[in-house]
Amino acid sequence: MRPRTRAILCAAAVAAATLSAAPAASAAAGITTTWVQVHGAQYGTLWVGGTATCSTTSGTAAVRVSAFQILMHMASDAGSTTISCAAQPAQWSVQMSPQAQCFFQPLLDQRCFMTNSQATVLAEVVESGVPTASSMGVFAT
């Protein structure tokens, strides 16, 4: 065998061994908002839900949600929940302002969302204090 051929084969073998021994990359985290609802007749508290995937398959992660409404009515609020990290997506839901007085004073409480309007929702997965995935969308209320 020629020295040059031998060197190329050795380099290829070392590269293959290095690549096969490298640790696997962690999975990509992701989050999807699949539904948004206002619980109330004309004004009410906002519920948001969807699915999320962690970058690891163990432990827990936080799902943080912020929402605001500027069309025909000004409202904004934020909430969070905890999910278990696993190989498959986890279902999540967050209720905004459960203590808001939307039935009696909807225009005085900026946490009351209006029905038959739109809300902008930002949702993110936070693992060990670091955001790993986010999504934003406009949803009918």
Q: What pLDDT, in 10s, does the model give residues 74-127?
A: 899 999 999 999 989 999 999 987 676 787 777 778 888 999 999 999 999 999
pLDDT at site 33 = 95
Q: Please give the domain boundaries of the chain with CATH numbers for all domains.
A: 30-140 (2.60.40.10)
Contacts of 54 (CB under 8 A, 6+ apart): 27, 29, 61, 83, 85, 86, 90, 125, 127, 132
Residue burial 17-49, b: 16+ Cβ < 10 Å; e: rest: eeeeeeeeeeeebbbebeebbbebeebbbbbbb
Percent pLDDT > 90 in the chain is 55
pLDDT at site 96 = 86
Q: What pLDDT, in 10s, does the model give residues 113-123?
A: 999 999 999 99
Q: What pLDDT, in 10s, does the model give residues 128-140?
A: 999 999 999 999 9
Cα–Cα distance between 33 and 48 in angstroms, integer? Answer: 7
- In this prediction, residues 13-28 reach a mean pLDDT of 45
At residue 39's C-alpha, the angle toward residues 36 and 43, to 5°, is 105
H/E stretch holding 13 reads: helix 3-21
Q: What pLDDT, in 10s, does the model give residues 64-74?
A: 999 999 888 88
Entry pTM = 0.76
Closest Cα partner for 41 from 103, 95, 83, 93?
Answer: 103
